Structures are given as C-alpha cells and as structure tokens.
Amino acid sequence: MNATAQLPCEAVLDALARTLAPYLGQTMAQAAVETHRQKLDIDGRHITADQLEALLGKIGVGLVIFVGRGRTESIVQEARSAVDALAAHS
C-alpha cells in the first residue's frame, strides 16, 4: 500500500484477521484486530497507509507473545501482502 493510498477499512480489517486466524484462532484474531483498531482510533470508512502501519505495529507487539519474534515478522509481512493484494484489486 503506497503512502497516499486509502483502502476500505472493513476490507483491510477482514484481511488482517484472516491472516492472523491460523496462528491465533478466528475469534482471537478478530478481537486483536478490533481492539487495536479502537486503541488507534481508526474509525473511518477508509484506512491510510500510516494507520495500517500503526495497526500492524501494535498487532506485531502482541503476536510476539504467541509465536515469537521471528515468526511474527513473517506473519506481519504476510498481512502486508494480503493488504497489498486488496490494493491491487481496487
């Protein structure tokens, strides 16, 4: 996602939760994404690149506890790729 792009917030949140679900379970993945979205006050119809990076950063910090630092980096990259795929199709 480039710096000026904006994507539909719900689509991005869904993509992030789907990416996290195999590692955390669906319910925990959705809760993690939603909790961090609220904490970062992301509430618009669209999400900016800066908001996405902040959200991935927060998710990554919590993910380390569950899967370790090395695995977290690859999962966060996987999440970025999922969002990039959304951007490519919009």
Tell me, rounded to whole angstroms, the distance of Cα 66 from its chain centroid.
16
- pTM for this one? 0.90
Question: What are the residues whose beta carbons fall under 8 Å from the beta carbon of 27, sequence distance 6 or more?
Answer: none
pLDDT tens for residues 1-56?
665 578 999 999 999 999 999 999 999 999 999 999 999 999 889 999 999 999 99
Residue 14 CA to residue 33 CA, distance in Å, equals 9
Say what the pLDDT of residue 31 is.
Answer: 97
Tokens at 80, concatenated:
């970025």
Residue 39, φ and ψ in degrees, nearest 5: -60, -35
Residue 53 CA to residue 16 CA, distance in Å, equals 12
